[in-house]
Structure 1
Amino acid sequence: MELEPELLLQEARESVEAAQSYRRELGQRLQGLREARRQIKESASQTRDVLKQHFNDLKGTLGKLLDERLVTLLQEVDTIEQETIKPLDDCQKLIEHGVNTAEDLVQEEWTAGFEGYSLSSRRNIALRNDSESSGVLYSSAPTYFCGQTLTFRQVDIIVSV
């Protein structure tokens, strides 16, 4: 029976050694897990920093490109505006010239020439002096257009006393 306590003691020692060995192995695995966790966190942090920097660079580049495109589009709008307004300005000048000429003619007692038109105070009516059958033209649209020329001749009034 003496063997039995020694066997039990031997088994206990082996169990303790196995437990210690298992504990060391688990400790090493735990250390490996901690190292892996640290590496993952460090890698994730570096990746975040790189991504933030990359997107900030992209934002800067895109912002510059968008600003340049905006300037280009605004210049195109300005050009189109100028090209579109020019005919209106030309038309306005012609109309103003016609109004000024008509005012001058009325003030200086001018009458219409044979090859021109007599202005009517009624809207959309012009009297044609070269028409034999009908001297009046009626229109549903404005009678006078940009670029139309009206000719007049001056009549000298002689008063006999």
Structure 2
Amino acid sequence: MGSLRATLRLFGLLVVCVLAAFAQELQFELTADTDDNTEQHDILFRQNPKQRNSIGGPCRNSNHCRPELCCLQSRDHNRTCQPLAKIGEHCTEFQIKGGSYPDHCPCFQGICSLTRDRRRNRGDNGVCVPSQEQSQVPPGQQQRPQSPSPLRQRPLRSV
């Protein structure tokens, strides 16, 4: 009878420790920022929501990357932050499920002239070309970058 009580006490102590650890982890996830804004962030990708990765850094979606970068998924399904495409470079406008891009990033400037890549069947890829509006900018003035806005919704594509 004495060993049964000792075993139950030990089991109870173990349960309390596990619950305390779980409560501490849950508290970390539910704690709001110190300012008045509460932000939604990915609890499966452990990274400070205000921290943005540079080129080659890991990501789950483009919000994990610095401005002028996108989250690019490679053929081996690794996702890293890569620069947005410039005029004349390959591009895509379509995100795949999870908020990353297959093969290429969207255009930093201009628009992506999309063509279906039937040979590799990897989605709609194109080349960044100047838009009509940008080509009318007088010489000597800077063109404003058209980086993807986090509020603008892009069609999701499954792989």
- TM-score, normalisation: structure 1: 0.28
- TM-score, normalisation: structure 2: 0.28
Structure with higher helix content: 1
Computing the radius of gyration from Cα coordinates, the structure with the larger value is: 1
Structure with higher strand content: 2
